[in-house]
Amino acid sequence: MKEKQKIINPASGEIITEIALASEPDVKEVTALAREAFDKGPWPRLPLAERKNFLLKISQGIRDKAGELAKLETQNTGKPIKETTFMDIPSSAKTFEFIANNFQKYLEIESPNLEAQAQCRLIREPIGVVVLIVPWNYPLLIASWKLASALASGNTVILKPSSLTPLTAIELGKIIAEAGIPKGVVNVICADAQKIGRILCEDSRVDMISFTGSNTTGRKILEYSLKNTKKMLLELGGKSASIIFKDADLETVINSCLCSAFLNQGQMCTAMSRILVEDEIYDKFSACFIEKAKRIKLGMGEDFQTQMGPLISEEQRKNILDCVEKAKKQGAKLCCGGKIPLDPNLKNGFFFEPTVFIDVLPQMAIFQEEAFGPIACISKFSSLNEAVSLANDSNFGLAGCIWTKDITKAEGLAKELNTGTIWINTYGMFYNECPFGGFKQSGFGKELGKEGFLEYTRLKNVLTDLSPEGKPLVNYWYGF
């Protein structure tokens, strides 16, 4: 009998379905299938134009089922249907389409010219069997970022969704099968990560692990992978900062900061959970921000009017409550939220009020540690140097925002910030063309863009001697 897992709707606490979990032998079997498909199967050897067509079919398959997928993602994550309908699902389809249309160009490579009679040919190849481990905050989207590039470059993959949110990954597996991708190329496994993580990641038949998730798990996966050294791509946590100068358009900034702190219930790796405001506008900014945060409409994900859904689980809500208590003890001033809403319609879900702390100082845990929930921390700065040092005072380095009308100042400041992405006068613009990835404890490697695609390839150097008698040193050194 297979072990089963109940999949919960976090907005109602109801069971959506039960799924069978892969056992240790199942994981080994799937790894063997993926290895066989890479070593002997057609996928890595397919003409690029054919691989392109398969990717386009997957993209179309997602579009054909967009409505169903949006509902399912909302049901499983609790996030508002507006988000899944307009962001998660169409963006997933777009990533497959974009990679399909661009990967051949990305594979083109210029080989260096060598001395006469010597020829170098550089070749980009797939890496082999790639394990893709994804989190629960953007289940289909992050799976699609990884899958599109890993598949286009000719790898075979094992996709492990979060055990909290596996439902759209299972559907994606079906779409991929319907597209006619050969058996063994894409393998979706749902399993208890604590039981199978080591077995999967230690396996010498796996060549690469692409992981997005928490720093705690990221460190474990690094450790597992050491046994049979393999390529790693790690996209980890963040504690990103928005820097707001007094000349910025206040209304635009406040609305954008609400979005960057509270979208997806603040469960975003790029959440701008630290808001650094120039002292002259600090009081006005804080008052308006708090007033608007109090008006955010919490509710069921299926309702198009809902602006904020529940947290993913009771455990996550406990973590957020702990963060709030610790922040209060350490002297941060709680100005709104910080508790479970009283609305009886929300009582069965894992809801939490949008929470704002002001006068937050860098030595407080809430300034340093990723909460991964709807908590915004507002701090004050009085000079450009202080803004830089506050923003960089973090172990993380994922993203940052700068708000000012002075673009020269903003671009200068962007160079000083220790983060992989900087948004100037905007937030959250993700383009398939642009690489995304963090610095410092936020991980290494890139997703998206040419650089993200190339992560899933390896570079081979083929050197040929074209001289009639061979190179003197090589041929005559022992040429008795």
Q: Judged by CB under 6 A, which of 158, 236, 275, 308 binds ligand NAD?
A: 236
137 binds ligand NAD (CB under 6 A): yes
Q: Judged by CB under 6 A, which of 127, 133, 244, 346 binds ligand NAD?
A: 133
- Binding-site size for ligand NAD (CB under 6 A) equals 29
With a CB cutoff of 8 Å and minimum separation 6, the contacts of 354 are 261, 262, 266, 293, 294, 296, 308, 336, 337, 374, 376
* Cβ nearer to ligand NAD, comparing 44 with 161: 161
Indicate if 291 belongs to the active site: no
Token pair listed for 285: 């900014």
Token pair listed for 218: 């990221």
Which of the stretches 133-141, 250-258, 277-285, 286-294 binds ligand NAD when contact is defined by CB under 6 A? 133-141
Secondary element (H or E) of residue 166: none
Q: How far is the CB of 335 from ligand NAD (least distance, A)?
A: 25
User: Residue with structure tokens 């405001």?
Assistant: 277
Nearest CA-CA partner of 359 in 275, 255, 466: 275
With a CB cutoff of 8 Å and minimum separation 6, the contacts of 411 are 424
The footprint of ligand NAD on residues 267-296 (CB under 6 A) is: 269
Nearest CA-CA partner of 289 in 322, 337, 323: 337
136 binds ligand NAD (CB under 6 A): yes
* Cβ nearer to ligand NAD, comparing 282 with 372: 372
Question: Pairing mode, if any, of strands 118-126 and 274-278?
Answer: unpaired
435 binds ligand NAD (CB under 6 A): no
438 binds ligand NAD (CB under 6 A): yes
Q: Which of the following is catalytic: 201, 269, 288, 377?
A: 269
CA-based diameter of the chain, in Å? 93
Q: How far is the CB of 345 from ligand NAD (least distance, A)?
A: 27
Q: Judged by CB under 6 A, which of 44, 237, 349, 374 binds ligand NAD?
A: 237
Indicate if 269 belongs to the active site: yes
Secondary structure of residue 328 in the 3-state scheme: helix
221 binds ligand NAD (CB under 6 A): yes
Q: Which amino acid is at 375?
A: I
214 binds ligand NAD (CB under 6 A): yes
Token pair listed for 91: 């963006």
The footprint of ligand NAD on residues 336-395 (CB under 6 A) is: 370, 372
CA–CA separation, 237 vs 218, rounded Å? 10
160 binds ligand NAD (CB under 6 A): yes
Which of the stretches 229-237, 301-309, 343-351, 402-410 binds ligand NAD when contact is defined by CB under 6 A? 229-237
* Adjacent-strand bridge partners of 211: 133, 234
Angle of helix 48-64 versus helix 167-178 axis, rounded to 10? 130
* Residue 340 DSSP one-character state: -
Summarize as ranges the residues that interact with ligand NAD (CB under 6 A).
133-137, 160-163, 193-194, 197, 212-214, 217, 220-221, 235-238, 269, 370, 372, 398, 438, 442-443
- Please list the active-site residues: 235, 269
